């Protein structure tokens, strides 16, 4: 009530039809993560999964099926049963399959689409913004690339903390073959323990991340060639391969998968593309830092700002340094822990908008303010 003159309140309604474009690295998780808040806030969806992992979405939308074998391929023949069994009306969630250029781009730019929730590469995010710039009304939530730092302070290498430090740094670097936008692919270690960390980190990785057992192949031939190109650059720039090497040239799927050994690089220039670009594979660089200020400067020296990892036994430092990280998500003495109600997204070229919990409300709804005179 405003001075007895009017009752004022906010009212939200669904923003409309959304394009939900998800990547190949966590196909089921990221697709369902977008669908859930979209329909929860009353919107309808046209989902476009990556063409590399479209079968995941296909099977989700075609959950109950009769198996038929055609040329040794098992396919499903009944449509939309899963969402129908959940009571969702026909047409609320739709799926289109295709590549980015011929399917994703026209979908995002369509005047019939009121919003886009996209997870993927920064260059694609730039293209979406460019192609929709004239559609001011369109809601955009873009979760893009990352080149994330892991900071290892000397006290994290104390004997009682060493295993935890190695485990977190290794998992942040090599889980899912490093094909996670949140991976810590730039490790910075306080100089007083730098040599010790490298000497202990390499055998730890070799023991825990074994191709074909605890570590899989990378997603595609195209991605294999991209990662190989960066490793070839590392060799040409005389970086030290603590583990790994430049893999073989491959132009077809002839080894049961696209296999790249977990690779640890040292002696990499801070201006190298190896430190700047999102390689998105099992490749990590390790560099020393001098003190806290130097660690913060190096960590923030990136066009990206998605995530960061801090490893230290100093509780005051965790907050002091963590609150200076130019990153949307900061993990201290842990990694990939999510409270799903908190905002997810990055700073700088890692995207715009936030999703998660009530933060998704701003993506999928429009708000109006009503003044009701007495």
Catalytic residues: 143, 181
State the Cα–Cα distance between residues 22 and 129, nearest whole angstrom: 16
Residue entry with tokens 């889980």:
175
A 10 A CB-CB count for 213 gives 8
Of the candidates 92, 111, 78, 105, which has an alpha carbon nearest to the alpha carbon of residue 46? Answer: 92
Rounded Cα gap, residues 92 and 153, in angstroms:
50
Residue 335 CA neighbour count, 13 Å, CB half: 27
Do the Cβ atoms of 243 and 202 come closer than 8 Å? yes
Q: What is the DSSP letter of 134?
A: T
What residues contact 117, with CB distance under 8 A and at least 6 apart?
18, 19, 20, 21, 34, 38, 141, 355, 363
User: CB–CB of 221/252 below 8 Å?
Assistant: yes
């Amino acid at each position: 009530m405003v001075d007895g003159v009017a009752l004022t309140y906010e009212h939200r309604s669904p923003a409309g039809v959304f394009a939900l474009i998800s990547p190949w690295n966590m196909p089921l998780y990221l697709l369902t993560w977008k669908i859930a808040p979209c329909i929860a806030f009353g919107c309808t969806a046209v989902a476009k999964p990556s063409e590399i992992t479209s079968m995941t979405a296909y099977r989700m939308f075609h959950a109950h099926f009769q198996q038929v074998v055609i040329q040794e391929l098992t396919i499903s023949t009944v449509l939309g049963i899963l969402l129908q069994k959940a009571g969702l009306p026909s047409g609320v969630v739709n799926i289109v399959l295709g590549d980015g250029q011929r399917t994703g781009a026209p979908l995002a730019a369509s005047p019939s689409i009121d919003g886009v929730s996209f997870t993927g590469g920064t260059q694609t995010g730039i293209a979406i913004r460019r192609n929709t710039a004239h559609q001011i009304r369109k809601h955009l939530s873009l979760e893009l690339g990352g080149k994330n730092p892991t900071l290892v302070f000397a006290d994290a290498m104390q004997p009682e903390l060493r295993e935890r430090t190695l485990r977190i740094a290794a998992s942040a670097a090599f889980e899912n073959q490093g094909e996670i936008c949140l991976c810590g692919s730039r490790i910075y270690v306080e100089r007083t323990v730098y040599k010790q960390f490298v000497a202990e980190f390499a055998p730890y990785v070799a023991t825990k991340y074994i191709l074909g057992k605890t570590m899989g192949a990378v997603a595609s031939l195209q991605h294999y060639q991209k990662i190989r190109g960066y490793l070839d650059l590392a060799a040409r720039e005389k970086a030290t391969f603590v583990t790994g090497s430049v893999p073989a040239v491959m132009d077809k799927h002839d080894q049961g998968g696209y296999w790249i050994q977990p690779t640890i690089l040292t002696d990499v220039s801070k201006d190298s593309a190896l430190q700047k670009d999102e390689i998105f594979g099992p490749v990590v660089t390790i560099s020393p830092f001098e003190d806290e200020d130097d660690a913060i400067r190096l960590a923030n020296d990136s066009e990206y700002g998605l995530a960061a990892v801090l490893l230290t036994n100093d509780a005051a430092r965790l907050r002091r340094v963590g609150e200076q990280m130019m990153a949307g998500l900061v993990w201290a003495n842990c990694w990939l822990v999510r409270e799903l109600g908190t905002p997810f997204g990055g700073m700088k070229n890692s995207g715009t908008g936030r999703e998660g919990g009530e933060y998704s409300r701003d993506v999928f709804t429009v708000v109006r303010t009503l003044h009701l005179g007495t």
